[in-house]
Structure 1
């Protein structure tokens, strides 16, 4: 039992672990994991991924999404977003989507982690954090997937493009825009720089 107690001692509340992370603390990792899952010390989130629930006054706190995705990808190179983030642009998107999108370099597809659906999109480039410029480019890249009136959102998005800093928007369009988004925004930006 001493080894199980030692194993348990290494586990930090709120952390997400891959089975491979746990091997270092146990000579019988599968048996120990099974016992701790049964005890409720560990929670299985996905194949080979476990969470140590952090207790709060409201019960167990769910795993942090960043931590969850980091463990799944075995990587820090990703960006989690959602179509809900477009609502901050004020371009007529008002729907609430229960969708988490993960831009990353490794995985593509839909995965269920910790009871939540994540849509992984393998991309060459994406920023470290969300900005209005990136969100506008991303919105136009994904316009056809939105539930709102596309024509209306497009017109408002093009008007919004004129309000954003030209230099950073041009960088976002060049780095992250698909062919259609570049076709829409680059002429607009050229026009604005000639007018300036």
Structure 2
């Protein structure tokens, strides 16, 4: 066995069962072509199984058959690879906005837009238009939920925005400043107006920062009721 093959094999042996193995796990080995070739040989030998392009795992054999990596392990690998974050229906379910169970996840990251499948998980990659800071992912997910408020399944617009309001109410002042900054720089006017109406209801003076970014004559037709968004008329929602 060559030196590179030995390095790869020893590295794989050190991994926990269920870990998703990617080329990035061997980036300290200079000959990437040799690494890829040896991984392919391990697949042919049955030592590894491939779950997607450049993604492998060591199968765990049980009396019920071979077990692959968990969904969380696959998602962890995707996040590491893309430097991004998960958005869309799967996140809206986790946030309690919908009971819909998504069979596809959307990842915002540094990969070019494309679709892929890793194991049983269908992945849609969306290229980020802004730098992604890990500690701010929750804020971006809340803004994405506002952006998609009309298309979140198995719920109503009012119910969704009411739950989003409850989560925004719990943000600290630093997070409030950040979510306003993200909304101002990277999100469409109706998202900024929705966030502004929420901040206005909470009597947060920083709502004015969002108001300054909006054109006074622009009217928004989203479908919020007066009960769930009392300040909606002040932010040109009809």
Q: TM-score, normalised by structure 2?
A: 0.60
1:68 correspondence with 2:77: yes
The residue matched to 2:150 in structure 1 has which SS?
helix
Partner of 1:94: 99
Q: How many Å separate the matches in 2 of 1:52 and 1:78? A: 22
Q: How many Å separate the matches in 1 of 2:200 and 2:47? A: 58
Stretches of structure 2 lacking an aligned partner (at least 5 in a row): 206-238
1:46 correspondence with 2:52: yes
Bigger RCO (CA 8 Å, 6+ sep): 1
Change in CA separation of 1:109 and 1:136 when aligned onto 2, cut-off 3 Å: same
Stretches of structure 1 lacking an aligned partner (at least 5 in a row): none
Q: How many Å separate the matches in 1 of 2:36 and 2:157? A: 56
Q: CA deviation at 1:140?
A: 0.8
What is the CA deviation profile of residues 52-105 of structure 1, one whole-angstrom value per residue up to 9, with x for unaligned ones? Answer: 31526564331622453257x4x5x212345233345455x2222222221212
How many residues align structurally? 186
1:193 correspondence with 2:170: no
The residue matched to 2:103 in structure 1 has which SS?
coil
Partner of 2:216: none
> Does the 8 A contact of 2:103 with 2:121 survive in 1?
no
1:171 correspondence with 2:181: no
Q: TM-score, normalised by structure 1?
A: 0.70
1:140-155 paired onto structure 2 within 5 Å: 140-155=146-161
Partner of 1:17: 22
* C-alpha RMSD of the superposition: 3.6
